[in-house]
Structure 1
Amino acid sequence: MFYELRQYRMRPGQRDNWVKCMEEEIIPFQVSKGMVIMGSFVGEEDDGLYVWIRRFSSEEERKQLYQDVYESDYWKNEIAPKVPDMIDREAIEVKRIMATPRSAIQ
């Protein structure tokens, strides 16, 4: 099992719009496709920071879920066109991490 720690930089003034889009549209859609979203966060002192964590049981599962989500017509036609207005896609950072044996996030 591993996690994706995804860090995004929001465009100025777009924090509330991005959080609303994530919580009302993107996360529910991804969960409906089988994604496990562990958490979603904004920066306490950095208004331009958004972080979220997804969990995968294997690389094969990750590949399948990526295909199911990002290759879907709904993603391509409804969600993807909105994203560049709210976040800087070139500034996205994705780190693959694994929980330590005593981590509560197992």
Structure 2
Amino acid sequence: MLYEIRRYQTLPGLRSEWVQYMENVIIPLHIAADVTVVATFTDLDDDDGFVWIRAFPDEYARKAAYRAIYESDHWRTNVSPRVREFLVKDSTTMMSVQSTAKSPLDRHLIGAEPV
């Protein structure tokens, strides 16, 4: 499995609204594109930090999901402009990782429903 660990910095005081937007808009959009959302987190050491992890079976599935989400008219017209209202520009960090052969997380996700 391929995983993406993404960390966002929200504009000061907007993290709670961002979490609601993620849960009500962005995550359902990802699930509709067959992306497994593994977990979401708020940063205990940073009042404006947010982290989430997404999983893909392989690179082909990741690229297909990117196309389905980020190239859609809905994303470009409705979602992306709102995202820019919440996040500090150029503050997003992402780590792409591949699980090891005996990763407990992979065993946990196989057959599991997405968040």
> Which interval holds the TM-score relative to the shorter structure?
over 0.9
Alignment partner, residue 20 of structure 1: 20
Give the C-alpha shift of residue 99 in structure 1: 2.8
What is the alpha-carbon distance in structure 2 between the residues aligned to residue 48 and residue 102 of structure 1? 34
Alignment partner, residue 71 of structure 1: 71
**What TM-score do the two structures reach when normalised by structure 1?**
0.93
Alignment partner, residue 55 of structure 1: 55
Identity rate, percent: 34
| 49-58 or 93-102, larger mean C-alpha shift | 93-102
> After the TM superposition, which segments of 4 or more aligned residues of structure 1 sit over 3 Å from their partners?
100-103
Q: How many residues align?
A: 106
Give the C-alpha shift of residue 105 in structure 1: 1.2
What is the alpha-carbon distance in structure 2 between the residues aligned to residue 8 and residue 94 of structure 1? 9
What is the alpha-carbon distance in structure 1 between the residues aligned to residue 14 and residue 85 of structure 2? 8
Alignment partner, residue 5 of structure 1: 5
1:43-84 superposed Cα distances (whole Å, 9 cap, x missing partner): 112111100001111111111110000011111111101011
Unmatched 5+ residue regions in structure 2? 107-115
What is the alpha-carbon distance in structure 2 between the residues aligned to residue 18 and residue 89 of structure 1? 14
**What TM-score do the two structures reach when normalised by structure 2?**
0.86
What is the alpha-carbon distance in structure 2 between the residues aligned to residue 64 and residue 15 of structure 1? 29
Alignment partner, residue 45 of structure 2: 45
What is the alpha-carbon distance in structure 2 between the residues aligned to residue 89 and residue 11 of structure 1? 9
SS at match of 1:52: strand
